[in-house]
Amino acid sequence: MDYSMENGGLGLTGEQTEKVLQFQDLTGIEDMTICRDVLQRHQWNLEVAVQEQLNIREGRPSVYASESRPPAVVSEHLGQLIYFSPPTDGSGSGIRKYFKIFASLLYNLCYTTVMTFIQIARRMLGIEYQPRIDPLQEVLEFIRLYEEKYGCNHPVFYQGTFSQVLNDAKRELRFLAVYLHDDDSNDADLFCRETLANPEVVRYINTNFLFWSCSIKSREGKRTLNAIRPNNFPLIAILVLKENRMVVAGRLEGYWNPNHLMQQMRSVVNEFEIHLVQARAERFETSLNRSLRQHQDEAFMESLRADQEKERIKEESRRAEAERQRQYEQELREEEERRLALQQEKLNSVSKVPSEPDISDPNAVHVVFKLPSGSRLERRFLKSHSLEHVFYFVFCHPNAPDSFEITTNFPKRVLKCRPQHQRERVETLEQAGLKNREVLFINDLDA
């Protein structure tokens, strides 16, 4: 068998296909479509899906079985496959048979009518119906008594209420077989000991059905009896999901040997299985559409996030560019302000330069300045002039650098032309060792 389903009929990805195959190996379910549907209901969580199936096989309700409103049960005789087997003691023949059927129909009609009026009266009076016995306890008690009397060779009993098993049958898209036990039926013991204990019957029912049972003398059994409305016992009713309702597809009334029982049950399954196939197809289409919408929404959100990220990056880029432009303009303004301030400082410093002494003055010192540009400046100062006067002379010259130091040639030393603090006195040319003719170098500190 080719199990490759990538882009195939089941529309699964490679990872989903692998999980379907693993689920099939672990549960033994042959129908790949059923495996796929179960995994989809559990969001493709393989471990949870397998555990849930094992719980159901052991008769334990699923986690979804506790829904407050079970699906409606419809029992229409016109659409049912009804198989009747007369009682083995002959009590089902002749006038007695028809009288029993008439009495059963009359009882069902009266019971339904009375219960309807009681329920309406309770609603009008605001009286809540509180059963004395928990329905679940009634079911579990029946299973215990059944096994004490007939043994443990029987199909797996569903250990939950009728409402719970209806929910599980609907959710799992499984046929539901309901056995209603009547202790007063002449054939009940024979049916339980021979038919329901038969290994082939047990295997067939466990493979194809959820199996639920209860005594018709319990409240839970009576409610179920009212929903199915049989005429004879022992009774096995087969329910299936149809148009979102649990429909009684067939009733097997009376005693049936194992072969005939399985034959009639197969007839009901073959007749109504199309409804489960349609339900699975509808669920798959719904899941596929939901998945498609989810992928589309995710793609849209991813595209939206990408657009938002692009817009954010553009906005940050615009802000960064605006900040760089602002800083550049600020630097230009600061540079212009510095240049103007320096220019103004040079203009103000002209007044700080003393008048040049006469060349014949014996205290005159002839100084030659070599600028970084290679040009030369010459100027006479008095020996008593401060080195600060020398500094301002150079500072005011257009070709002088903005920030500089003045050094001697040999030995090389830096002249301290400006005071470091207010109280410090600057040396005179004579104190600095400058005599009649000197050559000084102007070094650009910004170079």
Domain with CATH 1.10.8.10 in the chain: 1-57
pLDDT at residue 393 in the model: 93
CA torsion, ordered 275, 277, 283, 289, to nearest 10 deg: -120
CA 53, CA 59: separation in Å to the nearest integer?
A: 10
Q: Tokens 């029992």 label which residue?
A: 75
User: How would residue 3 be classed by pLDDT, with cut points 50, 70 and 90?
Assistant: very low
Under 8 Å between Cβ of 120 and 114: no
Q: Looking at the domain 1-57, which fold is it?
A: Helicase, Ruva Protein; domain 3 (1.10.8)
Specify the higher pLDDT residue, 340 or 131.
340
Are the beta carbons of 253 and 231 closer than 8 angstroms?
yes
Give tens-digit pLDDT for 211-226: 999 999 999 999 999 8
Query: Which of the pair, 68 or 180, is modelled with greater confidence?
Result: 180
Report d(CA 229, CA 112) in Å as an integer: 10
Query: Which part of the chain has CATH 3.10.20.90?
Result: 354-444
pLDDT at site 322 = 93
Confidence at 280, pLDDT banded by 50, 70, 90:
confident
Residue 169 CB partners (closer than 8 Å, separation 6+): 175, 176, 210, 239, 241, 246
Q: Is 293 exposed, middle or buried (0-12, 13-18, 19+ CB in 10 A)?
A: exposed
Query: Is pLDDT of 175 > 70?
Result: yes
- The predicted-structure confidence for 293-333, as pLDDT tens digits, reads as follows 888 999 999 999 999 999 999 999 999 999 999 999 999 99
Q: What is the mean pLDDT of the chain?
A: 85
Question: Which is the CATH superfamily of the domain at 70-284?
Answer: Glutaredoxin (3.40.30.10)
Angle between helices 46-57 and 32-41 (to 10 degrees): 110
Cβ neighbours of 73 (radius 10 Å)? 20
Note the pLDDT tens digit of each residue in 41-82: 777 888 877 877 777 777 777 766 665 677 888 887 777 899
The pTM (predicted TM-score) of the whole model is: 0.57
Residue environment code for 359-375, b if the CB has 16+ CB neighbours within 10 A, otherwise e:
eeeeebbbbebebeeee
What sign for the dihedral angle of Cα 253, 259, 260, 263? Answer: positive
Q: What three-state secondary structure class fits 202?
A: helix
CATH architecture of 354-444: Roll (3.10)
Q: β-pairing, 364-370 with 175-181?
A: unpaired
Q: What is the dihedral of CA 21, 27, 31, 32, to 10 degrees?
A: -20
